[in-house]
Structure 1
């Protein structure tokens, strides 16, 4: 049957250090029950022992993604896994889990890489795009276009853009700071309102985004170019890039930064309004820019443990439709707002009173989602008992017997595990352990 318990999966990026004793890979979107790996064979585990003593899979995510087949020792999928839902923009999607063989009091660590399939086509947030360009705009002028989004990764992700529709325009693709592709419309030939092609003062183009899958998938947007009368000068930002930092406990309404652009034109052509260029919903939920002043404000609470920084692209648009862009990097600063979390992975109770000193009686996991000193944790046992705690690896502890037990003196021992972080002020958590002592025949009858 399926043995499911206490799932603990952690998403990790590709740059993290190797963690597991076993590493498997499985494509996303595989049906429930798909084979992942032969854990029993790869760990040289005895199947009868697994069946008699039982095993547990520990996985910290809210959803159980894997199960272990007790009769075969096979690791299989317990749910259909959507890589894009789990990892979003993470290049390498890895789930971690632990297998505990109860009879051995042994933990085996497993990593499963979720590989991408080309199940998403590139798409534009809006299918109909519009640009306003003055008839006096010089050939070679560039106009940023909306970017397409493809949640797949690697070759299956967005690879190129194509433009079709009119000889007056061409396409240029620039590399963004994160390696993303940013399409720009380039004016190849001078515009003339009196030409027959522009008698309605508009041009229609098709912008196509193509991924690298086999076969490739694509998405399109209709681009309408409105040719306007002269607006000679686009807005210019005081800086191309801005940087600032904000504590994660900053209240909504806090001012993040003020950006400023100027325009050498006069009248309505010089009136500038500010806004965000196309951005993920998470960014638009957190921040807002005042259209008239360029002041960026926080509108939803931050969480350092969720996102440590944001890149905002602010657009300045003048009354004639010309635009400029600047980037704002917002660093989120950690505060000590998370107490350590204690997880009792396994308890061996009762323990024979003749168990030798050093016998492992419990396995614990401790973590703190803060960073730096706020996330550094030390643990201790509180209570009178012949027990001690030793660290087996980062965040993992064993509770062992410190000396011989005597059931006739104490039939059970109660201790409290205390975990404290090194933040200021320090936060702590507690967990109780109850250890029963079983009798052995170590006393002769006495008259």
Structure 2
């Protein structure tokens, strides 16, 4: 057989597998669609009637409806067309801030047939956010005795978009004394560093003005900028040193507001201003900055607002200790939140028969139940087992073992 014939055979097999996969998913009641974020209300998502083989009169006569998880209904069924449409504008960054693949789930319920079809809708990203710095005016204090090649971490930009639409590169401009290096963090994030390319002379120039630019990979690209003012200081030959490179603490989610969770400590062998250490948060998410406070003098990290395990079970902070001469050390602080049984299971009847014949056989489907517990671990599992389902909350139609 020639190469062209083999390629044609492979294409036919691939097409056959795709058709079989689509048929398998439809048979098991699982539909998958995708839609870009920020689409107007009423935008087309998928042709549910066609994909499930339902006729339009069936949709009206059999009580077909869409039920979404949670309070907000993001999707609706258009009765005249059988299309799944958006029920409101969807912001991907608001819904899936920490998730790379954003998927919303709902159920299509055919009450006349007591059937449930699961629907997954992936919300794809658009480049609707530009990279931004938490502070657009940055200050670095560097001793004139610092040797060329020394590096100083800079504040990172943040872009809530994903993939190519997220932060891709940094650029530095403004002065021949400095260049830019970008290091890859443990999670693949980019960490800009200011590199001293030429020795400083305070008597020649006491200040240097630089511009740091962050760009994403959208088309067209979006950018954000921050200005850096470098102050040149006199000699300081000892940097602060933390007592440990990483601090780890576990706290229950009901720890009182105002509690000191952990205290970081750094020492500096210098005297006077060059030995006086101040602490600051160099890398912290917007959420964590509203929950934790770092005392710049003592290094104590206190709780500003109540913790909720269901909203966040772990936080990472990067703390910097800097002396009066501009030298510094950094340490990582990991705060793990342990769960408390602070949520009761919620049981809802998704659909139920209004009447049933007295001679109905055992195993007849009489109702669709849903149980959900926001807690994790044994407390959520016990609640789920008591209903005969998993603690995730999603289940198929429930059949009774006995009809009364």
- Asked if TM exceeds 0.5, the reply is yes
Q: Which residue of 2 aligns with 1:122?
A: 131
Q: Is the 8 A contact 1:356 1:401 kept in 2?
A: no
Matched residue SS, 2:94: helix
Q: Which residue of 2 aligns with 1:22?
A: 31
1:366-396 deviations in whole A, cap 9, x for unaligned? Answer: 1211111121035799xxxxxxx86599643
Matched residue SS, 1:376: helix
Q: Is the 8 A contact 1:391 1:397 kept in 2?
A: no
Q: Which residue of 1 aligns with 2:315?
A: 310
Cα-Cα RMSD: 2.1
- For residues 108 and 399 of structure 1, the distance between their equivalents in structure 2, rounded to whole angstroms, comes to 14
Which residue of the other structure, out of 256, 276, 289, is the alignment partner of 2:261?
Answer: 256
Which residue of the other structure, out of 119, 125, 133, is the alignment partner of 1:110?
Answer: 119
Deviation at 1:332, TM superposition (A): 0.8
Q: Which residue of 2 aligns with 1:215?
A: 220
Taking a change above 3 Å as real, the CA distance of residues 321 and 380 of structure 1, as seen in their structure-2 partners, is closer
- For residues 31 and 400 of structure 1, the distance between their equivalents in structure 2, rounded to whole angstroms, comes to 39
Q: Is the 8 A contact 2:372 2:384 kept in 1?
A: no
Which residue of the other structure, out of 149, 152, 176, is the alignment partner of 2:158?
Answer: 149
Deviation at 1:352, TM superposition (A): 2.3
Q: Which residue of 1 aligns with 2:279?
A: 274
How many residue pairs end up in the alignment? 376
Answer yes or no: is 1:169 the counterpart of 2:178. Answer: yes
- For residues 189 and 300 of structure 1, the distance between their equivalents in structure 2, rounded to whole angstroms, comes to 46
- For residues 317 and 392 of structure 2, the distance between their equivalents in structure 1, rounded to whole angstroms, comes to 36
Matched residue SS, 1:62: coil
Q: Which residue of 2 aligns with 1:55?
A: 64
- For residues 335 and 280 of structure 2, the distance between their equivalents in structure 1, rounded to whole angstroms, comes to 16
Q: Which residue of 2 aligns with 1:95?
A: 104
Taking a change above 3 Å as real, the CA distance of residues 391 and 355 of structure 1, as seen in their structure-2 partners, is farther
Q: Which moved more, 1:101-110 or 1:298-307?
A: 298-307
Deviation at 1:151, TM superposition (A): 0.8
Q: Which residue of 2 aligns with 1:439?
A: none
Matched residue SS, 2:40: coil
- For residues 151 and 385 of structure 2, the distance between their equivalents in structure 1, rounded to whole angstroms, comes to 63
1:106-138 deviations in whole A, cap 9, x for unaligned? Answer: 110011001011111111122221111111111
Larger Rg over CA atoms: 1
Deviation at 1:60, TM superposition (A): 2.2
Matches within 5 A, 1:226-305: 226-305=231-310
Q: Which residue of 1 aligns with 2:367?
A: 362
Q: Which residue of 2 aligns with 1:430?
A: none
Q: Is the 8 A contact 1:116 1:153 kept in 2?
A: yes
Taking a change above 3 Å as real, the CA distance of residues 50 and 392 of structure 1, as seen in their structure-2 partners, is farther
- For residues 392 and 146 of structure 1, the distance between their equivalents in structure 2, rounded to whole angstroms, comes to 43
Matched residue SS, 1:362: strand
Unaligned runs of 5+ in 2: 1-27
1 or 2, which has the higher strand percentage? 1
Taking a change above 3 Å as real, the CA distance of residues 36 and 380 of structure 1, as seen in their structure-2 partners, is closer
Q: Is the 8 A contact 1:390 1:397 kept in 2?
A: no
Superposition TM-score, scaled by structure 2 size = 0.88
Q: Which residue of 2 aligns with 1:68?
A: 77
- For residues 249 and 351 of structure 1, the distance between their equivalents in structure 2, rounded to whole angstroms, comes to 47
Q: Is the 8 A contact 2:372 2:392 kept in 1?
A: no
- For residues 177 and 332 of structure 1, the distance between their equivalents in structure 2, rounded to whole angstroms, comes to 22
Superposition TM-score, scaled by structure 1 size = 0.80
Matched residue SS, 2:256: coil
Q: Is the 8 A contact 2:380 2:391 kept in 1?
A: no
Deviation at 1:403, TM superposition (A): 4.5
1 or 2, which has the higher helix percentage? 2
- For residues 380 and 143 of structure 1, the distance between their equivalents in structure 2, rounded to whole angstroms, comes to 54
Answer yes or no: is 1:85 the counterpart of 2:94. Answer: yes
Deviation at 1:324, TM superposition (A): 2.2
